[in-house]
Structure 1
Amino acid sequence: MGKLNTFMIQLQNQNAIFYPGQPVHGQVFVDLNADMKMREIRLRFQGNANVHWTESHETGTGDDRRTETVTYSAHEQYFDITAALYGKTLGHGEKLPSGQHNFPFQFMLPPTLPSSFEHQYGQVRYLLKATIDKPWKFDHHTKLPFTVVSLLDLNAIPEAPRPMQNQVAKTLCCLCCESGPITGVLRVDKSGYVPGEAIYLQGEIQNLSNTECSVEVKLNLNILFHATSKTRSIPQEVTKLVLDRSNPGETQSLSGKRIVIPPVAPSFLAGCTIIDIRYHLELHVNPSSVSKRLVVPVDIIIGSIPLRSSFHSIMQPQPAIAPHDVNINVVGQGPGAFPSAPELPPPSYAECVFGKTDMHDEDDNEHTKGQMSYAPAYPYYNFS
């Protein structure tokens, strides 16, 4: 058994959810069963965005043809600060005595930061990393990611309260036979929503073809990753609603159907210039006899603060939604209040619907401990 029993970072806010401009309070906890010689204990505060992917390209012709792997990447740094907590530079000795030790810290987040976001091709990530720097031996590391939620107020977006509609028609052809058209109409009474809110669907499918069709309504996310020399667009399904099949000659109404928005990052990822996210509601009508489907898209905006017209429908947060009780103070307001909507009941917070991400990176080794699986948490409202 080694000298080090426990080495961990503890935050005062155990949910590790913060807003830009807030202080991050915590402590680094070290438990030793014997004196340990070290240069210092330091803590690194990092906030950055990264984009990275590879593609295979064929080059040359004939016998000189070969496959080349090209890497595309970009980096954006918001802060990177390292502070010594113990060591000779602070007037301490070269050894940390056995026993339990707490090293408190406080860090003020910058006032403008993008929301946390995780994807295999890019991330906006905020991280604390503590290190025990040992002379002539392997250093010990421990990591703790935390979530930053940047507020996107739908009331400040002119398009958010506006209704949206789209209509698409398709005529099916099978060999020399042509059937009547399939027409899809999709309407929503506004463009702006928040996680936990239901999108109430309107519209219809008119099937004048001779083919039965399956029908789905999907909430999709389109992510743009901007590398230094190329942009890559990645679609991702957030959630979907499977509806009754559309029979030949029938008109099917969408009225009364709804999709509840799960916990996801706010639209646009404001403050980040290398990752952009947009949401689309899509009606999919899939004919059973041919491969081409009819898609009716409608753009929507997902924010952090709902439209004021929705305030009356929001109840107090339910503890079951979030893994822990959260008490977040927004600068300039009381506990849990939003700067632009202090009368709004505070939301709960729930982990992103896409699940956890592996936090290991190329600098980690067997001496790196801490939270290695992480999902950002986003505001989630309890609508009546």
Structure 2
Amino acid sequence: MGKLNIFEITFSNPQAVYYGGQLIQGHVTVELNDEIKMRGIRLHFDGGARVHWTERHSTGSGKSRRTVTRHYSSSETYFNHTLVLFGKGPGQKGDDPVLKAGRYTYPFSFQLPTGIPSSYESFTGRVRYSVGGVIDRPWKFDHTTRRAFTIVDPLDLNLEPMATQGASANDDKTLCCLCCKSGPISCMFKLDRLGYVPGEVIPITGEINNGSRRKMTSSFADIRMTVQYHARTKTRTRCNIVSKIWHGAIEPGDSDIWNGDHLPVPPLPPSGLRGCRIIDIKYTAVLNVVPSGLAFDLVVPIDIILGSIPLQRVAQQYGLPPPLPGTNAIPMQPSAPSNMGLPPPSYAECAFGKVNIREESDNEHTRGNMDYAPVYSYYNWNQHEANTFMPVTEQETE
């Protein structure tokens, strides 16, 4: 058995969900089976965004032609703070203290800056927040531990002018059938509002007319999450279908009506990823028609807004009382008592699932759970499970 038995970080808020400007509090537990000489025990609070991807390019010609791998990246820092819990800070002189065998608890607190973006994790880019602990030992390997936490940007739909507005869109397409033009297929798509929060459903209203001589295999509605990653010299765009519902086939000459079908909104970060300059997020509701045979889908999109705080009139439809004068529609701080008799939202794991958050500075001895998924505000008014959405697939678009 080694000298170190326990080295872990515990947050006072068990959900580990915070908002910009809040105070993070908790404690570090250290349990030693034998004394350890050390420079000190430190905590490092880190928050920032990073974008990185590689592309293979061919250069030269003929026999001198070769393939090179180019890296595209950018990053930004929101905070970087070190707190000394015991002993000396980095670079401080003096004798190294010895911590005797036993169990120790060190409380900590850290004030988050305001205006920081929501947590976000993907293969190409991320916004990540964590607390790392180190037992700094002279001339020996350090003991390290790390714990991630989630930041949620309180994007209030009541402050977004477009959120309450409805929108409609339509398009048509003419297919070719045995070298002859067929009649058009047309699609009308309508939404009664544009602002939603995770846990709601989007009522899909639309009409599809198949004026062609070809069968339509199906129609479906989906939510698309379009993410732009900005490196220093290039931007990469990826589109994820995060929720989807289907209708069946449409025979030639027939129509199909979408009469308020429910398209669920899964746990996702708010639109825009406000506060982050290198990652942009946009959401679109789309009604699609799938022709049989060789033909592109007919696609009719409407941009929507995904927030963290729901529209007041929508919350009241689910039996929640109107807010008192001078208060928000929904209290957003997880640990704060409500002054309106309303509970804060629940929090659900991101639709993308867990990722491994091991950093380059970590090694196989770093303690802490390295499988992590951000969680987001989730208003389960429609009583569907947050973890029953379709698997998310990521596709690159030009």
TM-score, length-scaled by structure 2: 0.89
Q: Secondary structure at the match of 1:29?
A: strand
Asked if the contact 1:48–1:76 (Cα under 8 Å) also holds between the matched residues in 2, the reply is yes
Equivalent residue number for residue 377 of structure 1: 375
1:219-258 → structure 2 map (5 Å cutoff) = 219-258=223-262
Give the C-alpha shift of residue 93 in structure 1.
5.9
1:200-215 → structure 2 map (5 Å cutoff) = 200-213=203-216, 214-215=218-219
Give the C-alpha shift of residue 195 in structure 1.
0.6
CA distance in 2 between counterparts of 1:155 and 1:344 reads: 17
1:230-309 → structure 2 map (5 Å cutoff) = 230-309=234-313
What code does the residue aligned with 1:31 have? E
- What are structure 1's unaligned runs of at least 5 residues? 317-326
CA distance in 2 between counterparts of 1:203 and 1:5 reads: 61
Asked if the contact 2:198–2:266 (Cα under 8 Å) also holds between the matched residues in 1, the reply is yes
Asked if the contact 1:314–1:381 (Cα under 8 Å) also holds between the matched residues in 2, the reply is no
1:1-384 → structure 2 map (5 Å cutoff) = 1-88=1-88, 94-213=97-216, 214-314=218-318, 329=333, 335=337, 345-383=343-381
The percent identity for this pair of structures is 47
What code does the residue aligned with 2:370 have? M
Give the C-alpha shift of residue 246 in structure 1.
1.5
Asked if the contact 2:185–2:212 (Cα under 8 Å) also holds between the matched residues in 1, the reply is yes
Q: Secondary structure at the match of 1:107?
A: strand
Q: Secondary structure at the match of 1:246?
A: coil
CA distance in 2 between counterparts of 1:346 and 1:15 reads: 12
Asked if the contact 2:224–2:239 (Cα under 8 Å) also holds between the matched residues in 1, the reply is yes
TM-score, length-scaled by structure 1: 0.92
Aligned residues: 368
- What are structure 2's unaligned runs of at least 5 residues? 321-330, 383-398
What are the superposed Cα offsets for residues 255-297 of structure 1, whole Å, 9 maximum, x if unpaired? 0311111111000000101000000111111111123111111
What are the superposed Cα offsets for residues 88-130 of structure 1, whole Å, 9 maximum, x if unpaired? 4599962111111111100001121111111111111101000
What are the superposed Cα offsets for residues 173-197 of structure 1, whole Å, 9 maximum, x if unpaired? 1341221111111110011000111
Q: Secondary structure at the match of 1:14?
A: coil
What are the superposed Cα offsets for residues 322-380 of structure 1, whole Å, 9 maximum, x if unpaired? xxxxx97479xx5257xxxx675421111111101111121111221102011111111
CA distance in 2 between counterparts of 1:361 and 1:264 reads: 24
Q: Secondary structure at the match of 1:268?
A: helix
CA distance in 1 between counterparts of 2:208 and 2:338 reads: 43
What code does the residue aligned with 1:193 have? Y
CA distance in 1 between counterparts of 2:238 and 2:154 reads: 24
What code does the residue aligned with 2:337 have? P
What are the superposed Cα offsets for residues 233-259 of structure 1, whole Å, 9 maximum, x if unpaired? 100111100112222111110003111
Equivalent residue number for residue 324 of structure 2: none
Cα 1:88–1:292 change in 2 (3 A) is closer
